[in-house]
Amino acid sequence: MENKRWYKDMVFYQIWPRSFKDGNGDGMGDLWGVLEKLDYIKSLGCDGVWFSPIYPSPGADCGYDIADYIDIAPEFGGMEAFKAVLEGVHDRGMKLVMDLVVNHTSDEHEWFQKSRRRIEPYTDYYIWRPAKQNGKMPNNWQSNFEGPAWEWDEVRGEYYLHLFAVKQPDLNMDNPLVREEVKKIMKFWLDMGVDGFREDVITYISKKKGLPDDHLFPIYKGMPHYNHGPHVHEYLEEFKHDVLDHYDCVTLAEAPLVSPKRALEYIDEENGQIDMMIQFQCQCADCLFTDWLPTKFSLRRLKKAFSDWQYKLEGRSWNVLYLENHDHPRIISRYGSEKFRCESGKTLAVSYLFQKGTPFVYQGQEIGMLNWRPSSPDMYEDVHTKNHYANSNTKHTQEERLRKLWRSSRDSARTPVQWDDSENAGFTTGTPWFYVNENYKKINVAAEEKDPDSLLNFYRKAIALRKSLKVVREGTYKEHFHSSSKLYVYSRECAGQKLLVVCSFADKDIKMKCPRGFDLSNGKLILQSHNGSCDDMLKPYESRVYLWE
Ligand code: NOJ
């Protein structure tokens, strides 16, 4: 089927279901809650929804450990609620994208239970290896969640590979039967009417033959042998050819540590196997490869990441634009300023919403939710955070270790959405499954709805503008003043329209800079974070967008 590429006109909203909205009072976000809030999502100007996993799961990795791919977890409302949501989304002219997690399953999945007992045809569904001499593990690979990537299984008497948690065994994608299962899953949801998939760590699905030891990588040991592995393109092509090409759907691949050049091997519009890619470079302006190796925030690094992807994909593919998701702490707490919460939230919004690509907004980002900072390490839920804490250096003080968790844990961004200032932030009438950020009395949707200058209303304005301008969809991108460590300035240009975007990341007044060839005196100021400000000084974290047509 001819790909209509409708996703290029869209803005997606990411729902991390357990913390979005509880509809039945059991303390856990669910699909009934989503149904209540579809109009809210639409009111932002978002017309696509990406759901983090909502399948039955023991919850070892908050749903990314799937026990049944063709059902919806009862705690989220089951299939009945899902169908209601799907209909509600489509009735509003929106699209729905599911998370497809097929690098691994839960160890409670029936396939794994049968595989460990060598029941056919499941025996080779996973990556099993006997122990080496003296019971040693098959190789030196490390899990992405820390610790060894192998777990001994008493039942089978062999090790299995898990690139994530112990309860997330990796599937053996080299087995054609496993690929048939993946295709069945895709078909099942597409036939029901879903509009596409976000494919979890899909660049990991093919491991190098012989699973050799890794002597190269200091962190994520083993990664060179499974990221972009030998058959990954072949398998993705098979999924595309046998299933995806027969539906009008979109695919976005999550790809840790991918460069634009490598990405094009997957997403080139001429011959790629996937439509778009979620890259991590834009998440590394304040860390080295991972949030767990923090560094000082560098605007130059952020700009380089943005511009690299804009320039290198130009004319060949399409960007995913994002700043937040469920895997990273809140962006204002990282790249902005909590003191200038609203202002820096606005400049961050402008910094990415006017680039070329399809933007994603993560729940709570639009109201400027901040990092959660619990008083004790015991309050964390996330498996990666717990592993990290257990392995972390006990020579550091308790306080230092806790601060590191605040700064780096995914749980910092997983607290319930703050809907209003009532008990539990209006998230649930029951006991919330997770802690609500104490700042909810001040930071919540209801309060921001009432304030015309709120971040929430600014997101609405910015998204509406983005959608109304041809130059934002089609124009070429150019960065200006790239050596500035406080200003991010870029322009977009297409026949008949020119756009200039200026974002200050300074916490004091700084001088506005205008690139050559742009005459501000005849440009129209179409969006600004600070009402009435128009002189050549920018207030802290001020942003402006000018248009010529
Ligand atoms: C990436 C997902 O976004 C993350 O939340 C998850 O823990 C891992 N993949 C494993 O599925």
* 104 in Cβ contact with 125 (< 8 Å): no
Cβ of 201 below 6 Å from ligand 1: yes
pLDDT at 429: 98
Tell me: cis bond preceding 121? Omega within 30 of 0 counts. yes
Residue 106 has pLDDT above 70, yes or no: yes
* 200 part of the active site: yes
Q: Report the atom number in ligand 1 closest to the C-alpha of 326.
A: 5
Which of 61, 99, 167 is the pocket-test mutation for ligand 1 (most atoms within 8 Å of CB)? 61
Cβ of 64 below 6 Å from ligand 1: yes
Q: What average pLDDT does range 346-361 have in this prediction?
A: 98
Cβ of 170 below 6 Å from ligand 1: no
Residue ID of nearest Cα to ligand 1 atom 2:
200
pLDDT in tens, 201-246: 999 999 999 999 999 878 899 999 999 999 999 999 999 999 999 9
Cβ of 200 below 6 Å from ligand 1: yes
pLDDT at 443: 98
Question: For residue 215, with 0-12 CB atoms within 10 Å meaning exposed, 13-18 middle and 19 or more buried, which class applies?
Answer: exposed
In angstroms, the CA 391 to CA 82 distance is: 39
Instruction: Work out whether the CA dihedral 519, 521, 526, 528 comes out positive or negative.
Output: positive
pLDDT at 395: 86
pLDDT band at 1, cuts 50/70/90? Answer: very low
Residue 88 has pLDDT above 90, yes or no: yes
Report how far ligand 1's centroid is from the alpha carbon of 511 (Å).
Answer: 42
Q: What average pLDDT does range 527-543 have in this prediction?
A: 91
Residue ID of nearest Cα to ligand 1 atom 5:
327
pLDDT in tens, 445-480: 999 999 999 999 999 999 999 999 999 999 999 999
Report how far ligand 1's centroid is from the alpha carbon of 277 (Å).
Answer: 15
For strands 510-511 and 537-538, give the pairing: antiparallel
Which of 54, 107, 200, 411 is the pocket-test mutation for ligand 1 (most atoms within 8 Å of CB)? 200
Write down the domain spans for the chain: 2-105+175-459, 110-161, 473-548
Report how far ligand 1's centroid is from the alpha carbon of 58 (Å).
Answer: 15
Superfamily of domain 473-548: Golgi alpha-mannosidase II (2.60.40.1180)
In angstroms, the CA 165 to CA 169 distance is: 8
- Rounded (5°) CA angle 508-510-514: 150
Report how far ligand 1's centroid is from the alpha carbon of 223 (Å).
Answer: 15
Q: Top-level CATH class of 2-105+175-459? A: alpha beta
In angstroms, the CA 396 to CA 545 distance is: 45
* 493 part of the active site: no
The residue written with tokens 């009432």 in the block is 450
* 277 in Cβ contact with 255 (< 8 Å): yes
Report how far ligand 1's centroid is from the alpha carbon of 499 (Å).
Answer: 36
Q: What average pLDDT does range 106-125 have in this prediction?
A: 98
- May I ask the CATH architecture of the domain 110-161? Alpha-Beta Complex (3.90)
The residue written with tokens 């054609």 in the block is 176
